[in-house]
Amino acid sequence: MAKLNNTVQLAHGGGGKEMNRLIKEVFYRAFDNPILRQEEDAAAINLSGNCAFTTDSFTVAPHFFAGGNIGKLAIAGTVNDLAMMGAEPQYLSCSFIIEEGYPLDDLKRIATTMADELHKSATRIVCGDTKVVPKGCADGVFINTTGVGRILYPDISVKNIKSGDAIIVSGDIGRHGAAILMAREGLTLESDLVSDCANLWPVVEQLIASNVPIHAMRDATRGGLAAVLNEWASASNVSIEIEEQAVPISDEVKGLCELYGFEPHDLANEGTFVLAVPQAQAAGILEIIQRYGHCEQAAIIGYVNDSHPGKVVLKTPWGSARFIDLPQGELLPRIC
């Protein structure tokens, strides 16, 4: 078989020989599994009981950044949305929209990273699609992933948060948004800052196996911690009070926020989640989460009460307090 040209050509999306070769040499090689290998028009899968079902499209710019790339995001993003529903991520679909001229080596790197991220949970890509559009009609590569998984822990919901719950965040916030900002601005800052992008199923699986009570769970992606807490306060009609000092934030993220005038709690995360749990069990739950390398910074950051239903209150170390709103406008377009 002739070697592939070193960039993606329109013919690679044409449904013929070239497309067949691209799919086999890049995607089947990375994602190989018995269901995908059937090469049928649709994947035949076995689902039973209550399932969670989610979809997400990924358009991040640039495609490669400290701590990940668009492919790692495409797996982590969809797997994490299933995990946040207490569902074991089982099957994913994956569609690539590729701009003519995109380097094949980059596409292979992306596919390899996706495979590595898939292996962190027993999740398989079982169907997919490849389209190639003429130069100028897309920005390099866009990826859509859709996922289904079996719900192992039912009734996790934004409407389940109760007065007295503790709020836990699984790690220091804002690193994904800050890493994209750095990559886009060409900043290096001699910095160790990397995106938090990660597959959250292993830690969620451990929480479920430990049989701990979870009222709500959400990954703090676009809109960051501020969006999750506001969505929760509104959906459960409760007040969420956060201690500013308790929220873990790295010095690098603090520095970038000062430089650009951002609030760390508005910045996106891609491997950091927030939990609402009964206060009595919060310390034990925190201890389980902190066992995971990427969650060492996990902390209890506040509590739920009835003082200002629908509002999120940030209490400063000086005794003052202010409301945190949903982030407004588009801070950083194309972060995921």
- Interface residue list for Mg ion (CB under 5 A): 81, 219
Compute and round to an integer the Cα radius of gyration of the chain: 21
Q: Could you tell me the smallest distance in angstroms from the CB atom of residue 113 to Mg ion?
A: 20
CA distance 140 to 59: 9
Supply 67's token pair.
Answer: 């701590």
Decide whether 140 or 174 has the Cβ nearer to Mg ion. 174
Q: Could you tell me the smallest distance in angstroms from the CB atom of residue 76 to Mg ion?
A: 11
Q: Could you tell me the smallest distance in angstroms from the CB atom of residue 271 to Mg ion?
A: 12
Decide whether 198 or 313 has the Cβ nearer to Mg ion. 198
Q: Could you tell me the smallest distance in angstroms from the CB atom of residue 52 to Mg ion?
A: 11
What are 262-266's contacts with CB under 8 Å, separation 24+?
262/174, 262/177, 262/331, 263/226, 263/327, 264/173, 264/174, 264/224, 264/225, 265/173, 265/174, 265/224, 265/225, 265/226, 265/314, 265/324, 266/177, 266/223, 266/224, 266/226, 266/227, 266/327, 266/331
Q: Could you tell me the smallest distance in angstroms from the CB atom of residue 261 to Mg ion?
A: 26
Decide whether 165 or 219 has the Cβ nearer to Mg ion. 219
CA distance 324 to 244: 11
Decide whether 221 or 250 has the Cβ nearer to Mg ion. 221
On the question of a cis peptide bond just before residue 62, with omega within 30 degrees of 0, the verdict is yes
Q: Could you tell me the smallest distance in angstroms from the CB atom of residue 219 to Mg ion?
A: 4
Decide whether 12 or 218 has the Cβ nearer to Mg ion. 218
CA proximity to 225, closest of 240, 208, 237 = 240
> Which three-class secondary structure state does DSSP give residue 336?
coil
Decide whether 182 or 216 has the Cβ nearer to Mg ion. 216
